[in-house]
Homo-oligomer: A and B are copies of this chain.
Amino acid sequence: MTGGGRRGRRPGAPDTRAAILAVARERFAAAGFAAVSVRSVAAEAGVDPALVHHYFGSKRDLFLAALEMPVDPREVLAPVIAAGPEGAGERILATILGVWDDDELRLPLLALARGLTDPSGHLLQDGFLPVVIGPVLAELGVDQTERRLPLVISQIIGVLVLRYLARLEPLASMPAEEVVAAVGPTLQRYLTGPLP
């Protein structure tokens, strides 16, 4: 309305928050989590770093907000971790299917999955996995220097693609517990079983 003024200096303005998020999303996608500082996001958005923390909390919180995750994986996966590595394959998959089976969450989750697997970005390798999934496996005592993590993710992504994106039958309509019973042992082997 004022015309030509610099955007984003008004702390309470909704477009300030959106501007920070847009910068964060672009920077995290281009460079991964570790290489991006809250300070650099704030500078590019034309705001004070304190305002970024005020809106979003920690850098990790900013990352999750930039991913537009409709649920907080820390909360959702906490019971999985608490029960220990035995049966974790089944519990992880049951938890993920529980979230994805929610009609209201599916579209944002599909958008998230597309963003994560975008080959031009760094969100999966240098963001989502070390920031979101890595800590879960660490708390389960899974050795992350091995190839266990990508194997786990490969089976989960395949189920998500067929069940929710391609909607392949019978996988699309199977009760979640049947999918868990069939696929869970695979995840358990990738997590804690013998690998070549």
Contact = CB atoms under 8 A, between A and B. Distances in A.
Contacts of A189: 185-186
Contact of A157 (B150, B162, B174): B162
A186 B155 contact: yes
B166 A158 contact: no
Q: From DSSP, what is the main secondary structure of chain A's interface residues? A: helix
Interface of A: 116-119, 124-125, 129, 147, 150-151, 153-159, 161-162, 165-171, 174, 178, 181-183, 185-186, 189-190, 195-196
Contact of A182 (B151, B158, B162, B169): B151
B181 A196 contact: yes
Contacts of A118: 166
B162 A178 contact: no
A171 B147 contact: yes
Given A181-B196, A182-B195, A182-B196, A154 B165 contact: no
Nearest to A164: B119
Contacts of A174: 147
B150 A168 contact: yes
Nearest to A196: B181
Given A154-B158, A158-B155, A183-B151, A166 B117 contact: yes
